[in-house]
Chains A and B, each alone.
Chain A
Amino acid sequence: MQKLTKDDVHPKIVEALLQDTDITVEDALENEMILNMGPQHPATHGVLRLLLRLDGESIVACVPELGYLHRGYEKMAENMTYYEFIPHTDRLDYLSPMANNVAWVLAVEKLAGIEAPPRAQYIRMMVSELARIASHLVAIGAFAMDVGALTVFLWTLREREKILDIWDILCGARFTNSYTRIGGVANDAQPEAIAKVKWFIDQYLENLDECERLLNTNRIFIERLEGIGVVSAEDAIDLGLTGPSLRGSGVEYDLRRSNPYLFYNEMDFKVITYPNGDSLARYFVRADETRESIKIIKQILDKMPSGETLLNQPKKVLPKKTEIYSRMEELIHDFMIVNFGINPPEGEIYSAVENPKGELGFYLVSKGEGRPWKCKIRSPSFVNLQAVPHLVKGHMISDVVAIVGSIDPVMGEADK
């Protein structure tokens, strides 16, 4: 392995890394060590680069470097219509594309002042909960793999595969779904898809227990995570953590409960919190949250009303394909929306939903045009990653992978 020299690291990063100390880079390379972890490291969950200053094996300072997957989605959003941006939201948090689709259309609907029909909202709720399970399964599996338990990864991915199959039936795509539309969803949930969801929730809990038995009684797993990367409730709020990472510190903050959107106010579920704030607590929160999601999906299937899945609002919502081909009015509306956009009234809104990783918010500014004047994506992974330097300080180098895994960042979202 080649030795890291001063030229490999930008002076400003060195400055950030070596603050609170009077040693120089050459000193640090001699006595303390500067270790470059990533961007191509299997345990950093994508292209995350961490620069670590080490004293022996313990971490003195850590500077994360982002931007290796920066695609400029905020700039692109300003140059396309609201409809055109739906497929791009798939690529933000690519482990739960459905949840991002829902978040985007809810933001645009709030801006345009429209609301989807109840059945569409129930379907959206169902897919976001399935997305939550799918994302948490990867989080748990990859997390266990990071600390050395490989089997769990295979087992959780087997479960996730079933959800991808549901999405396949539902919208024809397994990964990048783009299922939601402004004012509804692309197509009604077919009976086969609903039947598959029923089958999935019936067998899921048993399989989750099986996975958990591999971990919860595993001494190596517990000892590697207990008391690692502890963040107190106050620090967690100050650092802006949201989602399971915040609830692992005992803060009962869940947007589904505190600012209910869709029909979450009618659902009976518990906001899972664990008081310890360590990596283990964050894992427990995720595992228990999938149980709550199953509970919610059961209620959704019981309560799901029949009816339209797309709003009839010709100036804002794309008409159905069959109507476009057979009727003049619909063809005109389709042409206008595709070419000029839906032109929401002048104004600005911030709309946030509880995504698997945390709070995903869209801040949209409209000038009454077809394209957003400004679109800011408040991505949970980006904000949660900011906590990494605070969490790893003083821990061993092998704990870094555990801590990053427990935060569960997705770089597609953090880098936008």
Chain B
Amino acid sequence: MSLTKEVIEQKLKEKFSGENFIFNEYRDELTISFDKKNVVPICKFLKEEVELQFKLCEDVTAIDWARRKNRFTVVYHIYSLKHNFRLSLKADVDESDLSIDSVSSVWKTANWEEREVYDMYGIKFNNHPDLRRMYMPEEFEYYPLRKDFPLMGIPGSNPLPKK
């Protein structure tokens, strides 16, 4: 039995009746958008529901839309090994409240992926076990992948270590 959009849609609507899901299909890829406050229960459900089993979290990333009202979107790519089905999840994060719940309790992979998003976009992940910067030094004040960070970097922002 192969997994289809209808099955996922029906399952999610059954479980989270009050939630406003937006389903979008583009080039054979299914994307589901929802509000950020329910991200952990939804992810847990998608992982643990017997008929879905999205056990592999491939990727967590974010998009900076620069001038949009909800400036950032956090994107999760998850995969069901049982059905060979890939799914993207999206949750908007606004600049006024730059935080979203961490899903590292659901998938361990998300730990570093979320650290990377925090490092690059400055989005805080609540309840994250070890929220440090991934690539940049801890003292670095800026978030390099934001659209307002210049390509050439900011001179003096990354000083050499003191001798």
Q: Which residues of A contact B (CB under 8 A)?
A: 10, 12-13, 16, 19, 66-67, 70, 72, 74-76, 78-79, 110-111, 113, 237-240, 251, 253, 258-259, 347-350, 352, 359, 361, 363, 365, 373-374, 376, 378, 382-383, 386, 415-416
Q: Are B135 and A66 in contact (CB under 8 A)?
A: yes
Q: Which residue of A lies closest to B75 (CB)?
A: A363
Count A-B contacts at CB 8 Å: 96
Do A238 and B55 have beta carbons less than 8 Å apart? yes
A349 to B130, CA, bound (A): 30
Distance to closest chain B CB from A152 (angstroms):
32
Q: Which residues of A contact B56 (CB under 8 A)?
A: 237, 240, 253
| B8-16, B35-43, B58-66, B94-102 - the one binding chain A | B58-66
**B56 nearest CB neighbor, chain A only:** A237
| A240-B109, A361-B77, A386-B111 given; A378·B59 CB < 8 A | yes
Closest to B147 in A: A78
The complex places the Cα of A16 from the Cα of B107 at a distance, in Å, of 19
Residues from chain A with Cβ under 8 Å of B61 in the complex: 363, 374, 376
Report the contact-size class of chain B (Cβ under 8 Å from the partner): 35 or more
Per-position contact with A for B127-144: 1 when CB-CB < 8 Å, else 0? 000101111111000001
Residues on B with beta carbons closer than 8 Å to the beta carbon of A374:
61, 63-64
Q: Is the CB of B136 within 8 A of A67?
A: yes
Give B62 Cβ to nearest chain A Cβ, in Å.
Answer: 9
Point out the residues of chain B lying under 8 angstroms from A19, CB to CB.
Answer: 130
List 10 other contacts, CB 8 Å, given A240-B109, A382-B112, A386-B112. A12-B132, A67-B135, A72-B144, A259-B84, A259-B86, A347-B26, A349-B27, A363-B61, A374-B61, A383-B109
List, in ascending order, chain B residues with CB within 8 A of A237's CB.
55-56, 81
- Residues of B within 8 Å of A74, CB to CB, are 120, 145
Within the complex, the shortest CB–CB distance from A46 to chain B, in Å, comes to 14
Q: Which residues on B sit within 8 Å (CB–CB) of A350? A: 29, 58-59, 77, 86, 88
Interface residue? B1 (CB, 8 A): no
